[in-house]
Chains A and B, each alone.
Chain A
Amino acid sequence: MASLPKRIIKETERLVTDPVPGITAEPHDDNLRYFKVTIEGPAGSPYENGLFNLELYLPDDYPMEAPKVRFLTKIYHPNIDRLGRICLDILKTNWSPALQIRTVLLSVQALLASPNPNDPLANDVAEDWIKNEQGAKAKAKEWTALYAKK
């Protein structure tokens, strides 16, 4: 493994010493570019009381290229598909090297708090969300209790 850029070491250090409330991120022992992430469901959302596992990978070109983030825990959300892939602008076209792991994870947490069914990734979920928001939220809550138990 080539030497890790200073920036990554720094970010990792700060994530550990000064963690974001409700979010943990730990690098893997074998690959310091691979992080095991957990995010608590935001209060007031259907994901409240859930603890979601994610994986985050920093590509070789990071920070010129966005980190790759994916949900490992099953989640019922219009912008997150069955494979855990996330539809979030800053992970795709709006990535900027001024962003960092911390801000990315905060954005993911914010996405849980405010789903956007008008720009869906999981079409069926989004449809459900638009037609019957109460029902969809109930289902999201159900899934949270089922799969994202703390």
Chain B
Amino acid sequence: MKNQISDASDFTHTRIPKLSQLDTLLRCHICKDFLKVPVLTPCGHTFCSLCIREYISVQAKCPLCLTELRESMLRSEFLVSEIVDSYKVIRDKLLDILRQSEEKTTDPDPDSSIIEVGSGPEDSLIENDNQNDDTCDDIQILQSNKPTSLKRTYTDIASSSLRTLPRSKYFKANIPVKRSSTASRIDSMLKKPVELVPCPICEKYFPVKELERTHLDECLTLQSLGNKPISLKQTSHKDEPVLNRSTVMSSKKSIPTGGLRTTKSREEGEVEEEISYVDKYINSTTDTEHQRLPKLDLPSMTITQVKQKLSNLGLSTAGTKQNMMARYNYYEILWNSNFCDSLNPVDVSELKRQLLSWETSRKVHNIANSSTSIGNLMVSRSANRHHDYKKLLDNFKTDKFNRKEWCLLFRKQFRRLIKDAKKGQISRLSKNEPIQESPKDEQLTDPDLSNDLFEKLDDQVHIP
């Protein structure tokens, strides 16, 4: 888990600790993750579109400087978006290289000289190789302390795997130039599991998955347009680098330490589409096809009206009015963030999927929090009481919450809790703890201390 969540402090122990500042600057202050569809506020602060929209719906002010802020004031920042995206792609490699060179200064390893990123058209290829090499170096460093027998098994597997590869010639010819033989063999071992299949149209080799998923379609479209397939155009005689790149990418999945690479899928996408972040920025425009969803005054609408609004958008009309209102509001945030701010808006169906997963996660929360466990119990006791309870619970987090009635309603439970607490205190007293009797009593009867009390209450309620 630790490695899946990157943090700016990852850089503090590398050769350039100050990179952690850059890393921090590219993160959203709300979710603490890298900015996703960044938007700029009039006060000059940047957040993820989704994060800030969600917050504005609660509090109409900037989280950083607390000045007033409305959704209509937000402007997308395409430049920042591309900076973040391009940074995310190189981050892991950067980190690996910087960490590695740090290690090297303390413990020079003759076998693992770093390959400087070369110049020329094969730039990204070498980088990719580099990344794999990093993992290999780790293995090697570990191994260098151990007897060579282990190494031999590795190389054996590696060389046998070489034979199974249809295009192993490339690996053999290319890698030893840069790497020692052991490393290159492990390299190719890691590349083993991908099966390459020729494309029937452009006759180049691709991993089956990639061929089926994207390449065939691309090839066919291009052909029907009368163009040459795109990959041919790009690399008239460099078909091997294309092949190799995709191999490296897909083989990463099979590397045991794959969890380290948080931006894996992104890189994969990049390879397939060959995105240039610069071009993307220069050609950026917002989607004008979709209009923004308006804010609606849902509370004043009737249920039928709300239902109609939802079904017009193709959303579910299940649940209470409150549920439907929450659904619309979140969908509106998703929609506007997607179609007004994002450079590559996703499909409406994807938005609906996101809405659904948001709702599911909320449901789980609510159940965990209160309603079913205590609620059901109340139903079984008396319907009337349940009603009171529901009514009270509605205001639980607001100032309107009726403390007195709540206390009355749960008098029995509170009493029992106090009794239990006192018992516990007596046993603790024997261990020489200071007495806190009078405040303790109130603590337990005070419903303001909702959360921990709730948990205790929950436990209590389940016992009988």
Contacts and interface: CB of A to CB of B under 8 A. Distances in A.
B105 interface: no
Given A6-B33, A13-B7, A60-B369, A97 B51 contact: yes
Given A6-B31, A10-B5, A59 B451 contact: yes
Contact of A9 (B1, B369, B434): B1
A85 interface: yes
Interface in B426-464: 434, 436, 439, 442-443, 446, 448-449, 451-452, 455
A83 B442 contact: yes
A60 B436 contact: no
B58 A64 contact: yes
B368 interface: yes
Contacts, number: 78
Interface in A39-98: 55, 57, 59-61, 63-65, 68, 70, 74, 82-85, 94, 96-98
Contact of A31 (B7, B54, B365, B455): B455
Main secondary structure on A side of the interface with B:
loop
A75 B31 CA distance: 34
A9 B85 CA distance: 23
Contacts of B193: none
B213 interface: no
Contacts of B364: 1-2
B30 interface: yes
B7 A83 contact: no
Contacts of B55: 64, 97
Nearest to A95: B59
Nearest to B12: A18
B449 A70 contact: yes
9 contacts: A1-B364, A7-B32, A10-B7, A13-B5, A55-B452, A82-B439, A83-B448, A96-B64, A100-B32
Interface of B: 1-2, 5, 7, 9, 29-33, 51, 54-55, 58, 61, 63-64, 66, 361, 364-365, 368-369, 434, 436, 439, 442-443, 446, 448-449, 451-452, 455
Given A57-B452, A147-B436, 18 more contacts: A2-B364, A7-B31, A7-B33, A9-B1, A13-B2, A31-B455, A55-B452, A63-B30, A70-B449, A83-B446, A83-B448, A83-B449, A96-B61, A96-B63, A97-B63, A98-B63, A98-B64, A147-B434
